[in-house]
Amino acid sequence: MLAVFDRAVAKSPEGLRAPAAEGGEGGGRLVSHFAAAREGAVVVSLGSAGTIAYTSEKQNPLLPRLFAVVDDIFCLFQGHVENITSLKQQYGLGKTANEVIIVIEAYKTLRDRGPFPASQVVRDLSGKFAFILFDSSSNSTFISADADGSVPFFWGADSEGHLVLSDDVDVVKKGCGKSFAPFPKGCFFTTSGGLQSFEHPLNELKAMPRVDSQGQVCGATYKVDDQAKKETRMPRVDSAANWSSHY
């Protein structure tokens, strides 16, 4: 799977774009290369917000890729959820609902004044997963990976500031050069809130520079800062407010 987002929709966190690092081909050309190199690839334009693409080619049968669109919400999912039965009941879904539909429904519940924070929504997913969600109604992203990093999932920033995400590290390298890293385990990223830990939601994250075998600084990894706590205050919003701008 592949997603390329404009920086107005998904601004890459500080440190992901390595200073003075050699650039890749860029996210725009990356999508064309992805589609040409993979049989049966599907490419979906998100307008000025970016592009997403996926294929079932060479997928791990134990960690399948899924794609769905519901109410202008686009979602790519890879992996499996172990507590899928209880989540179907929790969100009032039918027996045929799969993991990607559950993620979309969980996001909609969160967006439409859900009674719990985004960290809880992701923490409720038990299993091996990575997902990329885009809500075209609010130009919002919601991206996450499980706490163990069970699914290969990488991100990077190209020379134009596009955020690039894929389960194929070579794809991200091609688009971003050395400005890439594994997506942080146990974390989620949103347009409004940036990168956060769902395992330790009260703690800040700090960038940890990576150095390659040639001694060149690459895109940063991110670790929970045990010493830095977030301010915890509930935003005051009216009944018509969209919670996707607050999580």
53, 43 Cβ separation under 8 angstroms: yes
Q: What is the pLDDT of residues 70-106, one digit of tens each?
A: 999 999 999 999 999 999 999 999 999 999 999 999 9
The yes-or-no verdict on residue 107 having pLDDT over 80 is yes
In 10 A of CB 113, how many CB atoms? Answer: 13
pTM: 0.89
Cα 119 from Cα 3, distance rounded (Å): 22
Nearest to 79 by CA among 50, 96, 46, 102: 102
What does the longest C-alpha to C-alpha distance in the chain come to? Answer: 54
Q: Please name which of 203, 63, 53 lies closest in space to residue 130, comparing C-alpha atoms.
A: 63
Mean pLDDT of 8-36: 82
The predicted structure's pLDDT at residue 172: 92
The SS3 assignment for 138 reads coil
The kind and range of the H/E element at 172 are helix 169-176
Whole-number average pLDDT of the chain:
87
Count other C-beta atoms under 10 Å from residue 36's C-beta.
Answer: 8
* 6 pLDDT tier (thresholds 50, 70, 90): very high
- Report the alpha-carbon distance of residue 65 to residue 113 in Å, rounded: 29
Q: Assess contact for 171 and 34: CB atoms under 8 A.
A: yes
